[in-house]
C-alpha cells in the first residue's frame, strides 16, 4: 500500500505519498462495450450490404469516432487518481481532454471521512466513493468509482490520527 516512490508536481519537501488510488477499470465497461458493439455492427454492415464509395466513407468516419472514444476513455483513466500523502489528500479528476479538476485538503481541515458502496456492480466489485467533510470554503471532497473504499477511508483516518 505504500507508494513512496510516486512523485508529483507541487509535492512538498517533506511530503511522502502513502497511497495512489485510481478509478476501478469496470466503470469504463459500458462505454467500451458500446464501442465494441458499434464496431461489430459496422463490420457486419460492411459484409452484408456490399461495398460502395459512400459506405466506405461512412464506415471510416464511424471507425475514427469509435477509436477516438476509446482513446478518450484511456486518457481519462490514466490521468484520474487520488493521492493520500502523509500531509493531505489530493484528488485529480480528469473529466475530458481539456477539463481537469484538482482538489486537495490538509488533514488538519478534515472533520469526517465516510465511504459508500451502492448498486449491484458497486457491491459485487467493491467499488464506491469516499466523502471527506472539511472545514473551509470547499466543504466536501468526493472521490468516486474507486476500488475498496473502506480500506482507503481507513488509511486516511489513520493519517488524520497521527497528526
Q: Could you read off the pLDDT of 44-78 as tens digits, one per residue?
A: 877 777 666 677 777 788 888 888 888 988 899 89
SS3 label, residue 75: helix
Helix axes 29-48, 53-79, angle to 10 degrees: 170
End-to-end CA distance of the chain: 19
Q: Can you give the pLDDT at residue 25?
A: 85
pTM of the model: 0.80
Mean pLDDT by 10 residues, the chain (163 residues): 74 92 85 80 74 73 83 90 94 94 92 94 93 84 93 93 73
Q: Can you give the pLDDT at residue 135?
A: 85
Q: Can you give the pLDDT at residue 1?
A: 47
Q: Can you give the pLDDT at residue 98?
A: 95
Pinpoint the alpha helices (H) of the chain. Answer: 29-48, 53-79, 119-125, 149-161
Spans of all domains in the chain: 17-23+80-161, 29-75
CATH of 17-23+80-161 given 3.30.230.10, 3.20.20.120, 1.20.1440.230, 2.30.29.30 = 2.30.29.30
Amino acid at each position: 500500500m505504500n507508494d513512496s516512490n510516486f512523485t508529483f508536481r507541487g509535492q512538498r519537501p517533506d511530503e511522502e505519498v502513502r497511497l495512489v488510488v485510481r478509478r476501478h477499470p469496470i466503470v469504463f465497461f459500458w462505454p467500451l462495450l458500446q464501442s465494441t458493439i458499434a464496431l461489430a455492427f459496422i463490420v457486419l454492415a460492411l459484409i452484408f450490404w456490399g461495398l460502395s464509395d459512400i459506405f466506405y466513407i461512412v464506415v471510416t468516419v464511424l471507425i475514427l469516432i469509435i477509436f477516438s472514444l476509446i482513446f478518450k476513455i484511456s486518457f481519462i483513466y490514466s490521468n484520474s487518481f487520488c493521492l493520500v500523502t502523509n500531509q493531505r489528500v489530493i484528488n485529480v479528476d480528469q473529466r475530458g481532454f481539456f477539463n481537469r479538476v484538482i482538489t486537495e485538503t490538509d488533514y488538519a481541515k478534515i472533520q469526517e471521512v465516510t465511504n459508500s458502496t451502492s448498486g449491484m456492480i458497486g457491491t459485487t466489485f467493491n467499488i464506491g466513493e469516499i466523502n471527506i467533510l472539511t472545514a473551509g470554503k470547499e466543504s466536501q471532497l468526493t472521490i468516486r468509482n474507486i476500488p475498496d473504499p473502506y480500506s482507503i477511508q481507513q488509511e486516511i483516518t489513520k493519517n488524520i490520527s497521527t497528526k
